[in-house]
Amino acid sequence: MNEVISNADFLDIINIIKLQYGYDFTGYAQASIKRRLLRFMGHMQLNSVFELKYRLVNDQDLFSRLIQYVTVNVTEMFRDPGFYKSLREQVLPKLAAYPNIKIWHAGCSTGEEVFSMAILLQEAGLLGRTKIYATDLNPANLERASAGILPLDNMKDFTQNYIQSGGLADFSNYYTARYDNVLIKKELRQHIAFFQHNLVTDKVFNEFQLICCRNVFIYFNRELQNSVLQLFFDSLSSRGYLAMGIKETMRFADLQGKFEVVHAHNKIYRRKE
Amino acid sequence: MNNKFDVITIGGSAGSLLVLTELLDALPDRLTAPVIIVLHRLRNVQSEMGRLLSTRRRIVEPEDKEPVREHCVYLAPQNYHLMVEADRTFMLDYSELVNYSRPSIDMTFSSVAEVYGARTLGILLSGANKDGAAGLCQIITAGGRGVVQDPQTAAFEAMPQSAIEMCGGVQVLSIENIKKIIVGET
């Protein structure tokens, strides 16, 4: 994989996708997306950028597969246990003051972090009056997430994460294992609505007390980060919380003055007024 | 003086910790080029690797979009791939493992090669898999300098050996000689 995609070719590809399919990758961080495009070409045995462009124009199926490849669908339950601990200790007690709680998971991938959130809410006695809106760009992710089925292999790691996050229950109570998979309990899933939302092109659709958007900003350039941050600001109720990935930062964002820091290391912020 | 390189990037895995410490301790204060280190590490265990590696130099785990600064030593954070963008800012990536690794040395080396080209010094140390070999070749292809720790002196030879086998132009050196390159004597 020693070839590179020139800037001109990259812009061509992005334009074809935008005009033909309505997905806008213009503001994506290039180092990563170029690499993923090359990987996709390798996988589909497309030998040149020209061939990729030609097929994109003429073949809708190829585009559906490209979306699977270009979006990053890696996730874990209770990823960064310390973050979930902060949620338990610092955020959920504040959310408890609301009669109805609305949470948005933006970029939820296959749902692992959403299920983790549902577990936290359940343990805090808040799940019954919470609605979680979980959105992603990739329809295949949403299909998997809605099914609530995860591979059994990962549960050992997830259990470790859960315990480190301060979980005291028996983690296996939250799912039913069968053969190589587990099914997340329905009582957790029934408070979650999974649907498609594109952070680049779609707008505000509700008002939330907490928005979780972890490890999504890293794939955006600064300009796009700024505009999505504006979208989040507009979607938060006054004093609402925003949680990002632990290596994502608001330091370089235009809107940083409109948020206060709740937990610097775990990247939990709060909308000022 | 060390004007030949705009960036030094170092990769290592099993058996690389002590030699890496040695290299870091040898970094001259006048060195301006940023140093970007990728080590294979456990993914979900809190670690103080930065502090372990050097007492002389402060080692920073960069956050997303942080500019790559001169005089700074960076370490790829646990559980993320670390890349450099064309505008010389860091980008973190939480995608699939590459060569069973995240961070992957190949991911960092290859993005550095694309941005810094001939002004890159890439160093690959001891390790038990082939991560980093392809990236080092990309550095060399881009006109940069690619160096491996002599496999005979490495605790695990697979990593430097793979780079030697994968492409021509890899320099095989002892740690002493790698230090000399960094200091700018050769």
CATH of the domain at A138: 3.40.50.150
Specify the CATH number for the domain of residue B154.
Answer: 3.40.50.180
Q: How confident is the model at residue A1 (pLDDT cuts 50, 70, 90)?
A: very low
Mean pLDDT of B73-77: 95
Catalytic residue among B40, B54, B104, B111: B40
Within-domain flag for A75: no
Residues of B within 8 A of A160 (CB-CB) are 44
B-facing residues of A in 235-254 (CB < 8 A) are 245, 247-249, 251-252
* Boundary-marking domain end, from A70, A90, A114: A70
What pLDDT sits at residue A4? 76
Contact state of A249 with B86 under an 8 Å Cβ cutoff: no
Is residue A102 located within the same domain as residue A63?
no
Same domain (yes/no): A235, A129: yes
Which range marks the domain in which residue A39 is found? 7-70
Q: Which pLDDT belongs to residue B41? A: 80
Please state, rounded to an integer, the average pLDDT across all residues of chain B: 91
- Over the stretch B100-156, which tens digit does the pLDDT of each residue have? 999 999 999 999 999 999 999 999 999 999 999 999 999 999 999 999 999 999 999
B1 in a domain, yes or no?
no
The answer to whether B131 is a known catalytic residue is yes
User: Which residues from B are below 8 Å from A222, CB to CB?
Assistant: 65
Q: Identify the domain boundary among A70, A104, A125.
A: A70
B126 is catalytic: no
A119 and A241 assigned to the same domain: yes
Query: How many angstroms separate the CA of residue A193 from the nearest CA in chain B?
Result: 25
* Residues A90 and A195 both lie in one domain: yes
Measure A31 CA to nearest chain B CA, in Å. Answer: 6
Range of the domain at B83: 7-183
Residue B156: inside a domain, yes or no?
yes
Q: In total, how many domains does chain A have?
A: 2
pLDDT of residue B49: 73
- A5 pLDDT higher than 90: no
Domain-embedded: residue A199: yes
Residue B137 near residue B163, CB atoms below 8 Å:
yes
Active-site pick, B6, B81, B111, B131: B131
pLDDT at residue B1, rounded to an integer: 44
Split at pLDDT 50, 70, 90, the class of B184 is confident
Tally of structural domains, chain B: 1
Q: Kindly state whether residue B149 falls inside one of the protein's structural domains.
A: yes
Task: Say yes or no for a CB contact (<8 Å) between B80 and A247.
Answer: yes
**Residue B3: per-residue pLDDT:** 65
A108 shares its domain with A233: yes
Residue of B nearest to A215 (CA): B94
